[in-house]
Amino acid sequence: RCETCSKEEAKYRCPRCMKYSCSLLCVKKHKLALSCNGVRDKTAFVSVNEFTDLNLLSDYRFLEDVGRTADAAARHPIVHSPPTKKLLYCLRNKARRCNIDLRTLPVGFTKRRENSTTFNYMEKKFYWHLKLIFPHCHAEYTLKGVPDDKTLADILKPYIDPVESDPVVCQRLKIYTVSPQSDVQILMKIENRKRNSVRYNELDASRSLLDNLKGKVIIEYPTLFVVLKTLKNDMVILGQDASEPADNSDSESSSHSSVEEGEIRDSS
């Protein structure tokens, strides 16, 4: 019997609350009375004894729906909203005024998601997202909010200074801490070069981060390689390769003929 009117034989059953109804009128009445939307609860508990192949198929389709919804949310226009694009444009523009060719990648790239670089308009300086790589120890550290007026030597102190470094980090980077400071080199890979022609710029540890980044191409944020002169092996520094003059660094920094994959050009 219909559980709404109790007169007619039931023909329908609500997927949500499992109430029996005989007609469309009774269906509407039961929805109004119980505030039922008539949509099956895909997350409702089902005991193991009652679990069937249909429940398994339902769960599988539910997970597929969740995946599609998450993907649609990531592609939503709000992710690419004008305020975000305007912020990136201002960041690149400020970098350009400091003679830094800062380039950003599209949404979805790992470096784009990681980057936390900001510009403080009150202090008129960058706070960089910075990655330090110590290849001889297979160690990598990420720093956030590094002021651009901080020297590279001060940035490295918590890592390779025998006195000021963290004991755990010091132990991991022992090969650096026991080596003389004169043997430590800070390198940054030059962008927009062929894969079989990788070259590095040597940075000056006594100068600020901003001074070291001037005249160079940065994709999202700087990545610094801290190496030892005696162990750097095939890491060729531009200008120290006999087959290539040092002034190529300027042409590499100013060249816009080859576009890095995913690079966004300014629309204006």
Alpha helices in 133-191 (DSSP H): 152-160, 167-172, 174-177
- Six-digit token string for 9: 């034989």
The whole-number average pLDDT for the span 216-223 is 92
Supply the pLDDT for residue 245: 52
The structure tokens 């390198």 sit at 187
Supply the pLDDT for residue 127: 93
- Six-digit token string for 30: 């039961």
The structure tokens 């110590």 sit at 134
**pTM of the full predicted structure?**
0.59
Convert the pLDDT of each residue in 88-126 to its tens digit.
888 999 999 999 999 988 877 888 888 889 998 898 999
- List the CATH code of the domain at 85-228: 3.10.20.90
3 state SS of 84: helix
Supply the pLDDT for residue 150: 92
The whole-number average pLDDT for the span 5-17 is 88
Convert the pLDDT of each residue in 144-180 to its tens digit.
999 999 999 999 988 888 787 778 888 888 888 888 8
Cβ atoms 129, 115 nearer than 8 A: yes
Strands 184-189 and 12-13: unpaired
- What residue ranges do the domains of the chain occupy? 12-75, 85-228
Q: What are phi and psi of 64, to 5 degrees?
A: -65, -40
Residue 18: band (very low, low, confident or very high) from pLDDT cuts 50, 70, 90: confident
Rg of the chain's alpha carbons, rounded to an integer?
Answer: 30
